[in-house]
Structure 1
Amino acid sequence: MTPGARAQAAISVLDRVLAGAPAEQALTNWARASRYAGSGDRAAVRDLVFDALRRRRSAAALGGGETGRGLVLGLLRDQGADVAALFTGQGHAPAPPGPEEAGREPSGLEALDCPDWLAPALRESLGEDFAAVMGLLRQRAPVFLRVNTLRATVAGAQAALAAEGVGTQFNQLANTALEVTEGARKISSSAAYREGLVELQDAASQAVVAALPLSDGMTVLDYCAGGGGKTLAMAARARIRLTAHDADPRRMADLPARAARAGVKVQLTETARLRGPFDLVLADAPCSGSGAWRRSPEAKWRLTPDRLADLTATQDAVLDAAAALSGGWIAYATCSLLAAENADRAAAFLARTPGWRLAGERRLTPLDGGDGFYLALLRRE
């Protein structure tokens, strides 16, 4: 595909996303219908789509409108590309821009790609870091790996990855975290990954697990396990009896294979079979994902006040369920930047649930190097 054809493909995918289709689904459908597109083409179109979604407001301003064409046109202008050479109308390239697509420079919240309605809450939560954090959320997220210390040392994992063209550097957020500096697309096919030496996991997520009060012999429940990234990280930290649960068990479908690759044992349990008490319950609750908008940028634009209210109600329910299952500790975590989902939920839990206290708290934003995360350690007295 020519660069112009890639731009046109991104336009068609973005039109579907703006009409309500999930970005991953829209990209998959395009790829299946475009057998001529090679792996390099698919990667380039994917990058254009996600870069445009990260900068949806500013790109729309620069491109003359909030359409797939406007977003790609604005993104390319922002990147300093030669738009005239890409929008030629020849072959499969998009037509040249018209006078109505001249665009304008974005300003204020538009330039930060921040939804207007969320700005007050984000300013209150982030304080003087608001503009800097919002600016980082317009960029691509780094790729991080977690070294599985049951299989390799950090240095050993780095050497194994380097031998296959994957460059890494140590990240200070966690002693198992490596930031990928070269060859990210080679990770999933590398022997280091297939043999369980490393797992894909954000550095801030690893920092959350590193802060948990784990020790050998504990019984631990990962109550909202999802794909099991934190489950596996906990299993590598201490010799614990580990149970994984999710309200939707389908999210854990890959966990048995991942656990086998990592060399750990995890018991998967459905809600009806959960029996406490556990020494520690990790409640990594469903949230807005605002701390990870670099990875899932469409979530920024699909969050609404009603959806946020539903999420905070779910978070309260998760904390109450965790309390009923815990005999000692609850670790409440989100990948949100919003106090309404973080400290406010911990405070509300303590206010309605006698016998618990806040034993520790940690907040991370993209300024710390990884995703935004919040952790509250709650102790039964």
Structure 2
Amino acid sequence: MRRWRGDHRRGASTRAAAHARGGVRDRAETDPGDGAWDVSRPAAIDAREVARRALRRVDAAGGFASVALDDAFAASPLTDRDRALATELVYGVLRHRARIDRALDAAVTRGRLRVSARVRTALRVGVYQLLWLDRVPAHAAVDDAVAAVRRTGGARLAGLANAVLRRVARDGEPPLPEDPRQRVAVEHSLPEWIVDALAASVGDAEVPAAAAALAMPAPLVVRAVAPVDVVLDRLHSECPTARVVPVPGTRAAIAVEGLGAPSALPSFQAGLWTVQDVGSQRVVELVAPEPGQRILDACAGVGGKAAYLAQLAGGGAHVDAVDVSDAKLARLRETVARLGARGVHAVRADLTDPSAPIGDRYDLVLIDAPCSGLGVLRRHPEAKWRVTPGDVAALAGVQRRLLDALAPRADRALVYSVCTFTRQEGPDQVAAFLARHPGWRVEAEVATWPHRDGADAFYAARLARR
């Protein structure tokens, strides 16, 4: 679903007439907090309520938005149109949360808006519609949010919500800061430390474009398993109205729009293609597997890279796909079976344990290391509200231990990759490894970026023995 966005200041001003009828009385702009009111009533299950429930789960349980939405859809069936709206609301609020909160704070008459998490979620969903979704009538966004707040906190708190949302509809959001770094942080709802990490990686001149790209929805890219022309023909046949084009400069990547649910298509189920971002594909291509080789795919996850390794090797390689998660390995086996990837063996192991049940030596080792995941913020915008600089430092320690543990098992080459852009987890991690292990050298590096390549932000280095 396309984001229904025009100029947000223009959109807010055109709604002023509907929501600025007379003055708004000042109210105490706080609420007693979650659980202080016992007036909740069952809500009608529509797209907005599903979005609020999913957002509350993301905030409370720390899960992925995609999982929260899938579970919400399973519990509350919606039409395709309403599912699309619920998805837009969840990801829109997560992408623009800080900017939404700034607009809310500016709309109160005294101090900052102090409300419970449940009420703030309802207000955020309302503000996102007011400032970004031009096709949603302002009265519908306000009325729905006020009703949701009333169910939680009663009439007094609903009055506060109505007043605040009417001010946002009338006035829009405050002007963006003039300081360039602060402007980027506010405009694209990025914590300032993430803006600093971007600047360290791409330079100040590229920060605005890089930050803007990270705040946009990610395009759907698939990897052809069958020949590209065969996949193109099948997708055109199954989805005549979809836009399906090869990605220039790639071996097997195809960009698609309007495809619907990929897993529902017969060609997907038949294993002719799979969903995989260009950045992820380029990491595997950097490994450059060949028939007859023994390959270790460390931290294999759900198997996308392991299956591509097997494909590039023509099915003639032995790939040990290792992960510590039974759930991920179960999905890996399903992926490998669907794609017909021969030679992939799922192994459950902790690779920092010297007694891990894997081979002593491999021709090639791929370490797709656990990382902060900032490179996939387009897909998982909730991560920017959870990851901290301390997390980056801790993950860098895990990456260091994996490199030191697995380098002795690599005979020809070791490829290290992360789906993030912090230097601490990328180039600096590799430089520190080379300082500890002078017998290795960098043979090649790959870095992909949303604003440069239309891909997730990946960093990968191919290391070879001297």
TM-score (norm 1): 0.91
Following the alignment from structure 2 to structure 1, what is the Cα–Cα distance between the partners of residues 72 and 318?
A: 44
Cα 1:100–1:90 change in 2 (3 A) is closer
The DSSP-based 3-state class of the residue aligned with 2:336 is helix
Where does residue 439 of structure 2 map in the other structure?
A: 355
Where does residue 82 of structure 1 map in the other structure?
A: 137
Q: How does 1:1-381 map to 2 (within 5 A)?
A: 5-22=46-63, 23-35=65-77, 37-64=78-105, 67-79=120-132, 80=134, 81-89=136-144, 97-101=161-165, 102-103=167-168, 104-105=173-174, 107=176, 108=183, 109-127=185-203, 128-148=205-225, 152-165=226-239, 166-185=242-261, 187-238=262-313, 239-265=316-342, 266-271=344-349, 272-367=356-451, 368-381=453-466
Moved more, 122-131 or 332-341: 122-131
Following the alignment from structure 1 to structure 2, what is the Cα–Cα distance between the partners of residues 89 and 114?
A: 28
Give, as a single letter, the amino acid of the residue that structure 2 aligns with 1:227: V
Q: Are the aligned partners of 2:263 and 2:269 in contact in 1 as well (CA < 8 Å)?
A: yes
Q: Are the aligned partners of 1:285 and 1:332 in contact in 2 as well (CA < 8 Å)?
A: yes
**CA offset at residue 28 of structure 1?**
4.5
The DSSP-based 3-state class of the residue aligned with 2:244 is strand
The DSSP-based 3-state class of the residue aligned with 1:158 is helix
Cα 1:55–1:42 change in 2 (3 A) is same
Following the alignment from structure 1 to structure 2, what is the Cα–Cα distance between the partners of residues 277 and 147?
A: 31
**CA offset at residue 268 of structure 1?**
1.7
Q: Are the aligned partners of 1:7 and 1:93 in contact in 2 as well (CA < 8 Å)?
A: no
Give, as a single letter, the amino acid of the residue that structure 1 aligns with 2:141: L
Q: Which runs of 5+ in 2 are unaligned?
A: 1-43, 106-112, 150-157, 177-182, 350-355
Cα 1:21–1:83 change in 2 (3 A) is farther
Cα 1:90–1:139 change in 2 (3 A) is closer
**CA offset at residue 222 of structure 1?**
0.3
Cα 1:32–1:214 change in 2 (3 A) is closer
Moved more, 325-334 or 83-92: 83-92
The DSSP-based 3-state class of the residue aligned with 1:273 is coil
**CA offset at residue 31 of structure 1?**
3.5
Give, as a single letter, the amino acid of the residue that structure 2 aligns with 1:10: A
Following the alignment from structure 1 to structure 2, what is the Cα–Cα distance between the partners of residues 73 and 173?
A: 42
Cα 1:19–1:47 change in 2 (3 A) is same
**CA offset at residue 320 of structure 1?**
1.2
Where does residue 152 of structure 2 map in the other structure?
A: none
**Structure 1 residue ranges (4+ consecutive) displaced by more than 4 angstroms after TM superposition:** 63-66, 89-97
Q: Are the aligned partners of 1:158 and 1:167 in contact in 2 as well (CA < 8 Å)?
A: no
**CA offset at residue 286 of structure 1?**
0.6
Following the alignment from structure 2 to structure 1, what is the Cα–Cα distance between the partners of residues 73 and 265?
A: 24
Cα 1:192–1:106 change in 2 (3 A) is farther
TM-score (norm 2): 0.75
Following the alignment from structure 1 to structure 2, what is the Cα–Cα distance between the partners of residues 134 and 90?
A: 29
Following the alignment from structure 2 to structure 1, what is the Cα–Cα distance between the partners of residues 57 and 358?
A: 41
Q: Deviations over 1:109-131 (max 9, x none)?
A: 11121112332222111212211
Following the alignment from structure 1 to structure 2, what is the Cα–Cα distance between the partners of residues 99 and 361?
A: 54
Following the alignment from structure 1 to structure 2, what is the Cα–Cα distance between the partners of residues 16 and 188?
A: 25
**CA offset at residue 33 of structure 1?**
4.3
Report how many residues are paired.
Answer: 375
Q: Are the aligned partners of 1:173 and 1:203 in contact in 2 as well (CA < 8 Å)?
A: no
**CA offset at residue 280 of structure 1?**
0.5
**CA offset at residue 259 of structure 1?**
1.6
Q: Are the aligned partners of 2:288 and 2:312 in contact in 1 as well (CA < 8 Å)?
A: no
Which structure has the larger Rg?
2
Following the alignment from structure 2 to structure 1, what is the Cα–Cα distance between the partners of residues 431 and 306?
A: 26
**CA offset at residue 348 of structure 1?**
0.7
Report percent identity of matched pairs: 32
Following the alignment from structure 2 to structure 1, what is the Cα–Cα distance between the partners of residues 256 and 67?
A: 26
Where does residue 25 of structure 2 map in the other structure?
A: none
Following the alignment from structure 1 to structure 2, what is the Cα–Cα distance between the partners of residues 154 and 56?
A: 39
Following the alignment from structure 2 to structure 1, what is the Cα–Cα distance between the partners of residues 357 and 275?
A: 30
Moved more, 65-74 or 356-365: 65-74
Following the alignment from structure 1 to structure 2, what is the Cα–Cα distance between the partners of residues 29 and 263?
A: 29
**CA offset at residue 83 of structure 1?**
1.7
Following the alignment from structure 1 to structure 2, what is the Cα–Cα distance between the partners of residues 288 and 330?
A: 21
**CA offset at residue 168 of structure 1?**
1.2
Superposed CA RMSD in Å reads: 2.5
